[in-house]
Structure 1
């Protein structure tokens, strides 16, 4: 597919068709890694860890004092029954 490099401020850009983005598993707004290898521009989506940032978010919630249990402690109906093993 032939396309043109377009001026965007002091930089330049190329419109990437949606089917090509889908082929690499990316969509508009995703972060990508760009690098030059042997005179070619290589673009790959940046795949982040599913739980990335969870520890920091949990720490921020705890620091704000908003980490109390939602349901609290509760018992099951048969908790007072003796179990037989």
Structure 2
């Protein structure tokens, strides 16, 4: 996940969020940051996903590859 985050940072604004946030905190940060996408690991059960869907924010799942630094984007909703 760190590799994906670092790889995307030069082309877009990124903001790591605490996975322990509550739904209202995710909602605040998504709106404050004017988020257009949420990147999560495949299989994540984070409350951020439900909040993102509710706000119409695209959810992008990242699946870890076998080699260090290798990842690919899974087709997500939105």
Q: Which has the higher helix share?
A: 2
Regarding TM over 0.5, the answer is no
The higher-RCO structure (CA 8 Å, 6+ apart) is: 2
Instruction: With the length of structure 1 as denominator, give the TM-score of the two structures.
Output: 0.21
TM-score, normalising length: structure 2:
0.22
Which has the greater radius of gyration? 1
